Structure 1
Amino acid sequence: MLNDVHSRLNPTPAGTVLRPPSLLAAIRCVQDCARRGRPLAAIGARHAMGGQQFLSSGCMLDTSGLDRVVGFDPQRGLITVEAGIRWPALLQWLARYPGNRAGWTIRQKQTGADDFSLGGALASNIHGRGLAFVPFVDDVESIELLDGQGRLSTASRHENPELFALVAGGYGLFGLVLRLTLRLVRRRTLRREVRLTRAARLAGDFEAAIAAGCTYGDFQFSVDPGGDDFLDLGILSCYRPVAGTAADSPQRQLHREDVARLLHLAHTDPALAFDEYATFYLATDGQRYDSDAQQIGLDLGGYHDAIDASAGHRGSEMITELYVPRAALAGFLAAAADSLRRHRAQPIYGTVRLIERDTASMLAWAREPWACVVLNLHVRHDPAGIAAARAAFRALIDDAVERGGSYYLTYHRWATRTQVEAAHPRFAEFLRAKRAFDPDGRWSSDWYRHHRAMFEEG
């Protein structure tokens, strides 16, 4: 059985798992599946929770062996990598390569963890905590794609732009990305600026931070449903470029055992968890960080085992992201708090970020300059717990859609067709493009099968 690494809610009969050690071997695998008429799904680091990387009883191609740096242009700040490479390996290569005298590094990655493949990052069109960044597609110069027949093509904004637009945020349904060329930025020293604020002031606080030159930031709010501060009071942390180096600043930091304790408290005493977290963050005001290092997460794989043991049931966290116009942010957070209380949901973590409009990808989730609200809800792994979580997530989507917003397709398959169409008005067009590009259905997944059946039934 295969499963995603976070929610553990996608147990999938493994079928055949191919693990090519090189690009040539991957091409041969795809060509062999084409000859045999076997559908394929691509597996990266298995972080997505919606089943995009799994194909029940089917053939899955694990890209973890495709992890090499292929080329580097230190004048233009471009690096070409195989799509299975993970963020830590790329950052380590850039830090150690003698020819990187200009200090080129990544602009954005997912936060909270690091072991994500870059191919998967493009397939989901991820984002980080930049205050004025477009999603990850904006950082990609070009891709090399292997279609269902094993044929190679190159795509970018200027060459095969329609294909480039489909692959970015296309969840692996248009072929296997073998290589991608990434646009880098120069490493900067950032100063963290921290304070407490409330939802009603947050949109203005973000605007002020951007006007003051901050480039990264987020707002981590209280997740205690029993308190008056629920989804209202939070820690606003922004990062401003400054002179000097991060080494000039003494560092207070949370270690693995600290984070594990805070996560346990979030399950058992969320008010205390927020108080301790806020106290720590406020004490780090003024600390300096390298612009790439401040995006690095802490791997806490397996932390939920101890929580399950103390709770007496099996569970995990599932993430959702909701997007709303920035002017509607405070109203959405108030409505979301009501929905979570009404459904007796147990949020474990929540943050607000900003995202700029994506005009490059076809199934763009960032259709507007959104405020992005991230919520981790605890899900009990029994029928009643899953049904309750499904209802809570649907209520949150309704709260976003009612305000002209949307949600991220990556994390679950619990949205109704009405919600999918309202939040992603080009979804039916996306499915038609998939059938036109891949009429034999060579690239597939449980996520795709679910949505295809949903729209065929309608």
Structure 2
Amino acid sequence: MPSLAARTEPHVAVDTGTELNDVHSRLNPTRVGAVIQPAGVAEAMEAVRASAKADEPLALMGARHAMGGQQFLSGGRVLDLGALDRVTGFDDDRGLVTVEAGIRWPALLAWLAAHPGNTHGWTIRQKQTGADDFSLGGALASNIHGRGLAFAPFVDDVESLALIDGNGKRVRANRRENPDLFALVAGGYGLFGAVVEITLRLVPRSTLQREVRMTRATRLMADFDVAIAAGCTYGDFQFTVDAASDDFLDLGILSCYRPVAGTPDAAPRRALDTRGFSRLLALAHVDPGRAFSEYAAFYLATDGQRYASDEQQAGVYLGDYHAGIDACLGHAGSEMITELYVPRARLADFLAAAADSLRRTRARVVYGTVRLVERDIDSVLAWAREPWACVVFNLHVRHDAAGLAAAAESFRALIDLALARGGSYYLTYHRWATREQVEAAHPRFAEFLRAKREVDPAGRWCSDWYRHHCRLFGEEPA
């Protein structure tokens, strides 16, 4: 487990001629020139200075969950910061913890739970749900959010950061010191420096009671408002994904979490284990109606269960689940995620239009959920430009030319539906949006590219994601 103790740092490891891919979609096989794995911050700084001396760009890699190519650089060098995984500071009075950027959520939560100096019971406020093995550096780079009902994205939880600039120098940034750099780095996809340290604001650990009910998209925002007024702090809505049903994207399970006195339920309690989750996921590919019915029955049976506020954000992730599904479907495939944002008053209208669009493009929806997010006031490339309703779709994608073309059509159609309602989409997951869609959804994107050239004129930080968007906007990479 990471600790505050110093460690002896071995020489940096370099793996040459490696093919990398993202963990979830497996749609980004990328042959890179080398993967550089520094064991500590000092070695990372030296690696950056060596790249600067050789005038070579670097991409930054953590847990490799992003699907848009942000962490890969075809033919180039990738700086893997996964070994930078220590807790380096803790302030029990102020509720602050400082971690190296490669640390994963489970390690941080374990450290906070075990540390004798954590007398106030501090823990994290939000993380991604659905999986745990994400690095905090990656969470900041894509400015993630969880299922908080009244939270802004992750940058709102970040007190300060330290990064390595293009010359190999350590730089500190927060809302007072280098605020412009701070605003670019949060949600900046690793293009403004290698974040090596993050100071995170914590919250007291609390007990939450799960409140579960079935509802429909037409009533969902009113139901969310009632839950928030009742004191619920987390929640989401998981809709049926059976396109053959009239309930498609309409009927769903609303699960909210309300703070209560007392302690969480002791184990054992009703929960989906890895085997059960894997079975339901496979069933969603071949019989989505039955998969939703079983999933809904399970969730309804958990109504009233009590969880720790950090525990209820944890998720089971099956790293190699698709091999058996491929055999069943008779083709190679995986899931690609997209996330769309719409004004909350237009949510039901958007979901109805999305159902029509997904049927028309014959997309296979494996999973979907609705969450809420508050406005991001910190980031330059802010995706939460106002309080949105967030709609996540996990679409099955065949790994052949026809399958990729069909997926691109489905995703672009969904983006158009969000834009038509004054909404947006998340840049993290795929590169199928058109330039017009990028500009409409992210009106500061051209400014973001200009800032990249100003802050990093040597082009030290690069990626396939960045190169793609430069081509899309007719610009040469920095």
Q: In which range does the TM-score fall when normalised by the shorter chain?
A: over 0.9
- Give, in whole Å, the separation in 1 of the partners of 2:261 and 2:20: 47
How many Å apart are 1:14 and its aligned residue?
Answer: 2.2
Gaps of 5+ in 1: none
- The equivalent residue for 2:201 is 183
Q: Give CA-to-partner distance per residue, 1:344-378, whole Å, 9 cap, x none.
A: 00000000000000000000000010000000000
Counterpart selection for 1:7 from 22, 25, 44: 25
- Give, in whole Å, the separation in 2 of the partners of 1:168 and 1:252: 37
Paired letter, 2:387: P
- The equivalent residue for 2:347 is 329
Aligned-partner SS, 2:427: coil
Paired letter, 1:329: L
Q: Give CA-to-partner distance per residue, 1:389-413, whole Å, 9 cap, x none.
A: 0000000000000000000000000
Paired letter, 1:363: L
Aligned-partner SS, 1:310: helix
- The equivalent residue for 1:424 is 442
Is 1:320 matched up with 2:333?
no
- Give, in whole Å, the separation in 1 of the partners of 2:379 and 2:132: 24
- Give, in whole Å, the separation in 2 of the partners of 1:33 and 1:165: 25
Q: Quote the sequence identity (%).
A: 73
- Give, in whole Å, the separation in 2 of the partners of 1:55 and 1:351: 32
Q: Give CA-to-partner distance per residue, 1:390-439, whole Å, 9 cap, x none.
A: 00000000000000000000000000000000000000000000001111
Counterpart selection for 1:99 from 108, 117, 120: 117
Is 1:302 matched up with 2:320?
yes
Aligned-partner SS, 1:361: coil
Counterpart selection for 2:213 from 172, 176, 195: 195
- The equivalent residue for 1:286 is 304
- Give, in whole Å, the separation in 1 of the partners of 2:317 and 2:284: 17
Task: Tell whether the 8 Å contact from 1:189 to 1:241 is kept in structure 2 after alignment.
Answer: yes
Is 1:347 matched up with 2:365?
yes
- Give, in whole Å, the separation in 2 of the partners of 1:208 and 1:370: 17
Counterpart selection for 1:65 from 58, 83, 87: 83
Counterpart selection for 1:240 from 229, 239, 258: 258
Counterpart selection for 1:124 from 117, 124, 142: 142
- Give, in whole Å, the separation in 2 of the partners of 1:423 and 1:436: 23
How many Å apart are 1:250 and its aligned residue?
Answer: 5.9
Q: Give CA-to-partner distance per residue, 1:67-88, whole Å, 9 cap, x none.
A: 0000000000000000000001
Paired letter, 1:315: G
Is 1:376 matched up with 2:399?
no
Paired letter, 2:78: M
Gaps of 5+ in 2: 1-18
Length, aligned pairs only: 458
Q: Give CA-to-partner distance per residue, 1:162-204, whole Å, 9 cap, x none.
A: 0000000000000000101000000000000000000000011
- TM-score (structure 1 length as normaliser): 0.99
Structure 1 residues 381-396: aligned runs within 5 Å: 381-396=399-414
- Give, in whole Å, the separation in 2 of the partners of 1:151 and 1:411: 31
- TM-score (structure 2 length as normaliser): 0.95
- Give, in whole Å, the separation in 2 of the partners of 1:328 and 1:457: 35
- The equivalent residue for 1:450 is 468
Is 1:45 matched up with 2:63?
yes
- The equivalent residue for 2:46 is 28
Is 1:78 matched up with 2:96?
yes
How many Å apart are 1:249 and its aligned residue?
Answer: 7.9
Paired letter, 1:239: Y
Task: Tell whether the 8 Å contact from 2:265 to 2:305 is kept in structure 1 after alignment.
Answer: no
Aligned-partner SS, 1:450: helix
- Give, in whole Å, the separation in 1 of the partners of 2:77 and 2:224: 46
Q: Give CA-to-partner distance per residue, 1:202-257, whole Å, 9 cap, x none.
A: 01100110010000000000000000000000000000000010135862000111
Aligned-partner SS, 1:64: coil
- Give, in whole Å, the separation in 2 of the partners of 1:312 and 1:327: 41
- The equivalent residue for 1:208 is 226
- The equivalent residue for 2:382 is 364
Task: Tell whether the 8 Å contact from 1:249 to 1:287 is kept in structure 2 after alignment.
Answer: no
- The equivalent residue for 2:248 is 230
- The equivalent residue for 1:164 is 182
- Give, in whole Å, the separation in 1 of the partners of 2:273 and 2:442: 39
- Give, in whole Å, the separation in 2 of the partners of 1:191 and 1:89: 25
Counterpart selection for 1:413 from 421, 426, 431: 431
